[in-house]
Structure 1
């Protein structure tokens, strides 16, 4: 089945009408939803690497390396007559620069290598899409029929894709968590999200989170008096955490990415944020205040 183009990096079709709308997951949108979700998670590895490189431990180590190598190779210059002799020792200076560059490059490669687990986790979604989207994307995309089972159609409705100029640019996916749900509390989790980088500050991610909250209320269908919406983020993802906090999400707990002591040393781990909601009337939720978002959808207040 023909798939909608994603255009993660390239330019959009300027001839397409400048309209923006949303759609539930359809067979045609499977590839776009998958690519947006994977790309968004891969970006988080870059964010984690940047945080590690700017960490005080890293900066301090680099400064120490430069100081030690410089003293080792150029200390004699200072002892013999000061830095006036540097002009006559350019070869030594170049050697110091090259050596420092090699050592620092090796250091940064070693300390950021453990973040590869973030990329590996993202890549696994290709073969393990059901835990993220609620349906197996390969099977769903291969289906030529629009008449899905009620269960499949409902799960497809848990994913929302934002389309601009006929191109998918953002996605969010939600699943319910039966093992955490009881008579008093209905629990859902945002399992996948993705926004094309150029649209990150447009407000689309806020709209998608609003959808996830609203959809949680629909899935609960007033059965439980309380709803909890969960979202797992990287500790280094300051921008996404800022959005969640603005949406009244609260940090619930932290958990390690794996057994890497380096990641623990640099404070790179997963954080679980949750938004507790009260069902005050039939199918109505206490939602946070918000303005009309970039997709044009009005948020409840």
Structure 2
């Protein structure tokens, strides 16, 4: 009886997890094999097999959204890594007030993505945005730039908002790596006559790579699910040119009412996210073996 007490105490939590997480997952997986429409509840019983998945693989709108998601993910992750690494290296050199600077650095990640979306939507506004105001009054540009109307510029504006919101994740993790790094290898490199760049390239950076891949894993899952900022700033426009997988999924499920097709899209996205996670964890394991 005493051995069963821990399991009995965990039972309420397990039931809640099953109700809140497991049952919706099972239902969404089942509905992805049906012709379920929100406007026709009886369609949940119409089983169509893999038809939704086959339809998605033949749908160019889905592939365009998939390509934009990969492009967006690549731009954002590389920019956040570069900026985060630079901020971490600068903060490591600070001897006084570092705690205050670390706290200030974390401010952007504390803002809700919805709030960030509204903030940057007004900043990039054609008529009243501060970005166009600076370009016109500070750099002498005559015409306002249609940041959220032009397809390429709109994707750039979304990337800027996402990078501002989450660069601090990379900076904090990489700063933790720098602070935990032993000083002996750097001192040995200096004694051997290595320049600052050589010491960074061959000593510091390999030691930081496990932290880089941890940050990459966390942020790839978050950016791959980007929805709030895109929804607020462009809503997938103009003309669907900033439509990402998760905004397309929401439009398919809640606007068009094709929930079965949207759930199939969601499970394809989950498989892609798992593939990215496995790839990054493989890189993490290789980096840890190299260091230790």
- Greater fraction of residues in helix: 2
Bin for the TM-score computed over the shorter chain: under 0.3
Specify the structure having the higher radius of gyration (Cα): 1
- Greater fraction of residues in strand: 1
Relative CO higher for 1 or 2, CA cutoff 8 Å, sep ≥ 6?
Answer: 2
